[in-house]
A and B are shown apart, each in its own frame.
Chain A
Amino acid sequence: MSALFFGPHGLAAGVLLDLFLHFGMLSLLAIGGAITTAPDMQRYVVGERGWIDDLQFTASVAIAQAAPGPNLLFVAVVGWNIAGLTGVAATLFGSLLPSTTLALAATRYNEQRRDSRFVRAFTAGLAPLTLGLLLATGWILTEPIRDHLGAMLLVPLTVVALLKTRLSPVWLVAAGALAGALGLAG
């Protein structure tokens, strides 16, 4: 039962606070959506803290993509794998509180400055970084499968399928699961 609430490690309150604070900081850096912070989350929870391994991290993102709802929910799965429901609370509230507060403040501040030079410079300036962050995310998600030739072949296949067909991503995730279950991702 305690694994449900506190996860396999039974993390202490101070550690959960670290988790909350790190995800909170990343929430303010999420310039192209939550997924662009995945590389730094992986660096922190897998590399620096060793709470989960790279396979669990990539699985967390894959599970969130297989389920309905905003992709942001992968942070909840990461939190679950680290520290059960308390981990979910730490990662989800961390990822939401700073950015939602800022979003509400910005909306009320004023909507007409949308076309100001600063906002345009901000958007244009950060666009290349978003691109680089997404590519880095894709690369880091392959970390646990790099020794598996079949799985690595699925990566470019997915890219081509998404760019060249109108298939919904959920069918691609399902196809990947099926291929893997049949032993093709070995």
Chain B
Amino acid sequence: MSEAPGPLRRPDTVGQVFRVFNRMALQGFGGVLAVAQRELVEREGWLSREQFLQTLSLGQVLPGPNLVNMALMIGDRFFGWRGAAAALAGMLCVPLAIVLLLAALYGQFMHLPVVAGALRGMGAVAAGLVIATALKLVGTLRGNVLGWRLGALLALLTLLGIGALRWPMVGVVLGLGTISVILAWRRLRA
């Protein structure tokens, strides 16, 4: 985890943006974030660690997949919309081909008991991974301006509305989200 040596560099061509993001995505099993920091900051030296964190947090504020947002912003910084498109394509093209190949294979062999069992096991792990990610976030409620009680209540209401009552997400996020952001806004003034 050493800093990139010397001053920041920049990619020479749009093609290089594509190749670096492609290499990054192909190393990213179970999420690309950890690889992104190593490749962009330490290996290529395109961003300082501070710039990386700033771009990441902006990518997280915006809706949509965080890493895709980040790839767009970085590509855009160097080559405008062509860089953004190259970063996005690098991130998605080859992984998309791989995942579709797996999906097609699954479609062919899903009737075999071994394959069905393996997919059930993988599905259970998939559920567990998402739940573990959520549990890691519980701690951050303490530092939230809403306070952990209100934060926990809002999280619980979201879980209930989406998970148990199966209400459409648009209503829950716009309704609860608006209330929640207004409450946070008011507390930030104090």
Interface on A for B, CB 8 Å cutoff?
25-35, 37, 39-40, 43, 47, 55, 58-73, 76-77, 80-81, 88, 92, 95-96, 98-100, 102-104, 106-108, 111, 114, 117-142, 144-145, 148, 151-152, 154-159, 161-163, 168-170, 172-173, 175-186
Contact = CB atoms under 8 A, between A and B. Distances in A.
B100 A76 contact: yes
Give the secondary structure class of A's interface.
helix
A109 to B, nearest CB: 11
Nearest to B123: A58
B166 to A, nearest CB: 5
A30 B64 contact: yes
29 contacts: A47-B166, A62-B122, A63-B102, A63-B106, A63-B119, A65-B122, A69-B25, A70-B68, A72-B67, A73-B96, A76-B100, A80-B100, A104-B84, A111-B58, A120-B188, A124-B146, A125-B177, A128-B154, A132-B156, A138-B134, A144-B123, A154-B124, A169-B30, A170-B29, A173-B126, A176-B121, A180-B120, A180-B122, A183-B117
B107 to A, nearest CB: 7
Contacts, number: 383
A128 B99 contact: no
Interface in B98-146: 98-100, 102-104, 106-107, 110, 113-115, 117-138, 140-141, 144-146
